[in-house]
Amino acid sequence: MAQSLERQKAKPHLVEEWVGKIYTLICILFLIITIVSLVYFVASKGLSTFFVNHVNVADLLTGLKWSPDGEPALYGALPFIFGSFSTSLLAALIAAPLSFCAAVFMIEIAPKFGRKFLQPVIELLAGIPSVVYGFVGLSVIVPFFRDVFPGQGVGIAAGALVLSIMILPTITTIATDALAALPKGLKEGSYALGATRWQTIYRIVLPTTLPALMTGIVLGIARAFGEALAVQMVIGNAPHIPRSLFESASTLTSAITLNMGNTATGTVANNALWSLALILMLMTFVFVFIVRWLEGRSKI
């Protein structure tokens, strides 16, 4: 009887096994095809500016003037590249120390209160949609800057400030994990030698967690770099390199957001926007590889 039961069962479970294998394989293939075609299409569209429309790569990367309607039409994307880098780096510069303090607070100073209160706060900050950040930036930060500093209030400073709040959760979460993963003996050894908490943090905790902190910062920069709408709403969108932080500027994302709908597919102006998207995507890859490299180092 055991034999017959086994014969009878032998088939269904093999079929089941194959169904599962094939189903999950199809899902992962879908994912792979999606990303490969995404990269392929963005790259081919972005490169067609150079190969089909014969715009010079160097001109696009270093040109200071973006005027697709001008005579001759100019596609200088440096103002956008500059805007993207300056806002995201500045945002990281503001957010990184705050995040580090928040992480130290949660792990070293008040773990109970931190876990119960600060952590949910940070998670909520991460959940707020970017258009809401843009809206608040537009209705609070921009008017404030307009009153305090010369200019219209919009610009890199406003963009960076909005972005810094948006990337605060990213950096804090990673910093917190890094601090929490620190072996206990390391800190205790330092305390046992009579070091104060700050000395321990400064001399032991900070150096050992540095690669992980850097990972958080790079991820934060990556997120800021790719953020479109919140920045677009507060930066002013003037296509030139500003002379001050409080002067209207543009980023790669804001230029794409604003102009993609106004250009016809296949025109040089449209393809040039795809080139901006390509730059954005390549920068994303760079960030991912930096993060991978840092993660590899933090394991040692």
Partner 1 sequence: MKAKTADKLATSIIVAVAAFIVLILAGLLGYILFRGLGHISFDFLTSAPETIRKGGGIGPQLFNSIFLLVLTMIITIPIGLGAGIYMSEYAPPNRITNSIRLIVEVLSSVPSIIVGLFGLLILVNMFGLGFSLFSGALALTVFNLPLMVRITEQALKGVPREQKEASLALGLSKWKTITSVMLPIALPVILTGTILAAGRVFGEAAALLFTAGMSSPRLDFTDWNPFSPFSPLNPFRPAETLAVHIWKINSEGLAPDAAQIAAGASAVLVITVLLFNFAARWLGRYMHRKFTAIK
Partner 2 sequence: MQPIAMSAKDLSVSYGDSPAVRKVSLDFAAKQVTALIGPSGCGKSTFLRSLNRMNDLIPNCVVTGEIWIRDQDVNSPSTDVVSLRQKIGMVWQRPNPFHKSIYENIAFGPRYHGVKNKKKLDEIVEESLKKAALWEETKDRLHNSALALSGGQQQRLCIARSIAVKPELILMDEPASALDPVSTSKIEELIAELKQDYCIVIVTHNMHQAARVSDKTAFFLNGEVVEHDLTHNIFTNPQKPATNDYITGRFG
Site for partner 1, residues 18 to 57, rule: CB under 8 A: 19-21, 23-28, 30-32, 34-38, 41-42, 45
Between 14 and 33, how does the x/- string for binding to partner 2 read (CB under 8 A)?
A: x--x----------------
Would you count residue 79 as binding partner 1 (CB under 8 A)? no
Q: Which is nearer to partner 1, 60 or 219 (CB)?
A: 219
Total number of residues binding partner 1 (CB under 8 A)?
88
What DSSP element (H or E) covers 47?
Answer: helix 2-51
Q: Please report how close the Cβ of residue 214 comes to partner 2 at its closest, in angstroms.
A: 31
Of 13-21, 70-78, 146-154, 180-188, the window that binds partner 1 (rule: CB under 8 A) is 13-21
Would you count residue 274 as binding partner 1 (CB under 8 A)? yes
Q: Nearest-CA neighbor of 61 among 43, 45, 44, 49?
A: 49
Would you count residue 297 as binding partner 1 (CB under 8 A)? no
- What is the rounded CA–CA span in Å between residue 185 and residue 286? 36
Total number of residues binding partner 2 (CB under 8 A)?
9
Would you count residue 181 as binding partner 1 (CB under 8 A)? no
Q: Nearest-CA neighbor of 94 among 154, 172, 150?
A: 172
Would you count residue 262 as binding partner 1 (CB under 8 A)? no
Neighbours of 146 (CB within 10 A): 15
Q: Which of 2, 15, 28, 193 binds partner 2 (CB under 8 A)?
A: 2
Q: Which of 4, 58, 261, 264 binds partner 1 (CB under 8 A)?
A: 261
Q: What is the separation, in whole angstroms, between the first and last Cα of the chain?
A: 58
Would you count residue 191 as binding partner 1 (CB under 8 A)? no
Neighbours of 191 (CB within 10 A): 13
Q: Which is nearer to partner 1, 30 or 51 (CB)?
A: 30
Q: Which of 168, 205, 212, 294 binds partner 1 (CB under 8 A)?
A: 168
2-51 helix and 268-299 helix, angle to the nearest 10 degrees: 130
**Cβ burial, residue 129 (10 Å; 0-12/13-18/19+):** exposed
Which residues, numbered 232-251, are part of the site for partner 1 (CB under 8 A)? 232-233
Look at residue 297 and give its three-state secondary structure. helix
- What is the rounded CA–CA span in Å between residue 283 and residue 276? 11
Q: Please report how close the Cβ of residue 292 comes to partner 2 at its closest, in angstroms.
A: 22
Q: Which is nearer to partner 2, 9 or 297 (CB)?
A: 9
- What is the rounded CA–CA span in Å between residue 255 and residue 80? 7
Would you count residue 243 as binding partner 2 (CB under 8 A)? no
Q: Which is nearer to partner 1, 46 or 242 (CB)?
A: 46
User: Quick one: CA torsion of 28, 34, 35, 39, rounded to 10 degrees?
Assistant: 160
Would you count residue 4 as binding partner 2 (CB under 8 A)? no
